[in-house]
Structure 1
Amino acid sequence: MTLYSLLIAPVVDYGFMRRALVASLALALGSGPIGVLLMLRRMSLVGDAMAHAVLPGAAIGFLIAGGLSLPIMGLGGLVAGLSVALLSGLVSRTTALNEDASFASLYLTSLALGVLIVSLRGSNIDLLHVLFGTILAIDSVALYLVAGIASLTVLTLAAVYRPLVAECFDPGFLRAVGGRGPLYHLLFMFLVVINLVAGFQALGTLMSVGMMMLPAAVAQLWARTLPAMFAIAVSTAIVSGYFGLIASFHLGFASGPTIILTASLIYVGSLLLAPSGALRRLFPRPHLAA
C-alpha cells in the first residue's frame, strides 16, 4: 500500500470523506481557541457540562423533525445550551451554590432528560447517533452550519479579543475600569454553546467537547503565550481530525471516537515530551546548560 492510497486517496475518492474533513477543519478553527480560553478560565468541566446540556434541545429537535435532522436538532441544542448557561448563572447569583455546582446539577438533569426523550421515540441506533455523532453522514446544510459557526467565532474573537483576555485573566480589573465584564462573559458563553452545537453536528453530544479541551491541553503544555496556544490548539485539532478520519476509514472504526482518541494520543505524547511534560520534570536540564 502506497502513501498516497493510505493518506490521500480516501479523501480524493469519496465525497463523504471530503465533507467530513471540511467539517473537522471548521470545528478545529472555532473550537481550538474557545477551548484554550475555557482552560485558562479554569472552566474545563463547565465545557463538558455544556456539551451535555444541549442534549434535551437536540432530542426535542429529533422529535419535531421525526428523525436525524441535524440543523433542527442543532437549533434545539442551541436553545437548550443557552438556557442552561443563563439558568446556572441565575442560580449562582441568587443562591449559595457556585456556578460550577449549578452547572453540574443542571447538566446531569439535561443528560438524563435528553436520553429519555430520544429513547421514547427513537431506536438505539438513533440514540447512538445523537450521543456519538455521524460525521461521515454530514450533509451540505449541516456543513454550512458548522462552517458558519466557525466563521462567526473567529470574527467575534478578533473583534473582542482584548476584553475577553482581560476578563479571562483579571475580571476584577475589567470591572474596575467599567469594562462590562458580565457582558463579555455572556458573549463568551454564547461562543462556547454554538461551538458545542457545531461539534454536536459531527461528533455527538458526548464527543463534541473533546475537540475543545484536548487540543487546548496540548497547547498549554507546549506554549506560554496566548497566540501560540491558539495556533497549537487549532493545529492539534486539524491533525486529529485528519488522521482520525483516515484511521477510521481504513480500520472500520467509528469516526467520532477515533478522532478524539487521536487527539488523546497527541495529548499523551505531549505529557511526556513537551517542555512542561513529565520527562522534562523527571530529568531536568542542568541549570547552566545552553
Structure 2
Amino acid sequence: MSALYDGLIAPFAEFGFMQRALGGAILLSLSACPVGVFLMLRRMSLTGDAMAHAILPGAAIGFLFYGLAIVPMTLGGLVAGVVVALGAGFVSRLTVQKEDASMAAFYLISLALGVLIVSLRGSNVDLMHVLFGTVLALNDEALTLIGIITGTTLVTLAIFWRALVAECLDPLFLRSVSRLGPPVHFVFLGLVVLNLVGGFQALGTLLAVGLMMLPAAAARFWTSRVMPMVLLAIVIGLVSCVGGLLMSYHASLASGPSIILVAGAIYILSTLAGPRGILGSRIRPQRHRTA
C-alpha cells in the first residue's frame, strides 16, 4: 500500500509543481481532446499539426519583446494562428491550390520564421521551451489562461454541437438546410487555434497537437458514435497526462514528450485490441462465418 502511495499519489500530494502540471493537463484534456475528435472526423488531422506550427511566429514575436511572459506569447500565437488559417483559406478559394497544400506552405514558412525569431534573442534553452513546452513550470497565470480556453471551448461545443456533428457526417446536407456551414467551419478553426495556444503553454508548439489528436485517434478504434468517442478521448487524454507526469517524475524524463508517448502507447494498443482495430476486425468476420 505504501509503495502504491509513493508511486501514484505522493508526487501529486507533496509537490506544488506536480499539482499545477496535473491541473493544466486535466484542463487541456477536457478542451483539446473533443476538438481533436472533430478534427479527425472532418479528415483535418494534419491541419491541426500545421496550425500548431502556425502559432510559432506570433509566440516568437511575443518572446522577442517580452521574454517568456505568458500573455504576450499567447496573444501573438493566437493572432498568428488566425492569420495563417485565414490566409490558407483565402489562397485555396482564389487559386487552384487546395486548402491542405496552402496550409502546408504557410506552416513551413511559419515554423522557419518562428525558430529564426526565437534564435535572435534566446538561447537553445529558450528555443526548447517554445518548441516543447514546460508543463512542470506552469504557474497560476498559465493555469488561469488554460482554464479560460477550456471553458470557452466547452461552451462553444455545447452551442454548436449539432451543427458540428452534421458537418462532420454530411457537410453538403448542412449547407442545403442551413446557413451555418461556413460560420461553423470558421468557429471550429478558431477553437483549434485557441486550444493549440493553450497547449503551447504546457507542451510547446511541436507537441501541443499530440494531446489533441492521439487520444481522439485511439478512441476511434473503440466506438463509432460521436459522443462516446469524445468522452473516451477525454479519458484517454487524462490517463496519458497522469501516466506521462508520473513517468517523468520517477524516471527524470522530459514531461511533455512523456505525456505524448503514453498517449502514443494507448493509440498503438487501441489499433490492436480495439473492437474496430486490427484484431477486432479480423475476429468479427470469423464470428459471422461460424454463425
Same fold? TM cut 0.5: yes
Calculate the aligned-residue CA RMSD, in Å.
1.2
Equivalent residue number for residue 63 of structure 1: 64
Shift of 1:75: 1.1
CA distance in 2, matches of 1:52, 1:76: 13
Shift of 1:283: 4.2
Equivalent residue number for residue 227 of structure 2: 227
| Aligned partner of residue 186 in structure 1, secondary structure | helix
Give the aligned residue type for 1:33: P
Equivalent residue number for residue 31 of structure 1: 32
Deviating above 4 A after TM superposition, structure 1's stretches of 4 or more consecutive aligned residues are none
CA distance in 1, matches of 2:21, 2:180: 39
Equivalent residue number for residue 181 of structure 2: 181
CA distance in 2, matches of 1:13, 1:174: 51
TM-score normalized by the length of structure 2: 0.97
CA distance in 2, matches of 1:195, 1:289: 47
CA distance in 2, matches of 1:289, 1:48: 44
Deviations 1:88-109 (A, max 9, x none): 1100000000000000000000
Aligned pair 1:163/2:163, yes or no?
yes
Equivalent residue number for residue 277 of structure 2: 277
| Aligned partner of residue 220 in structure 2, secondary structure | helix
After superposition, the Cα gap between the structure-2 partners of 1:227 and 1:289, relative to the gap in structure 1 and judged at 3 Å, is: farther
Give the aligned residue type for 1:70: I
CA distance in 1, matches of 2:169, 2:77: 29
| Aligned partner of residue 222 in structure 1, secondary structure | coil
Give the aligned residue type for 1:53: A
Aligned pair 1:77/2:42, yes or no?
no
8 Å Cα contact 1:47/1:192 also seen in 2: yes
Aligned pair 1:107/2:107, yes or no?
yes
Deviations 1:210-244 (A, max 9, x none): 01110010110001110000011000000000110
Structure 2: 5+ residue stretches without partners: none
The count of residues paired between Structure 1 and Structure 2 equals: 289
| Aligned partner of residue 68 in structure 1, secondary structure | coil
CA distance in 2, matches of 1:26, 1:71: 18
CA distance in 2, matches of 1:166, 1:27: 25
CA distance in 1, matches of 2:196, 2:72: 15
Aligned pair 1:260/2:260, yes or no?
yes
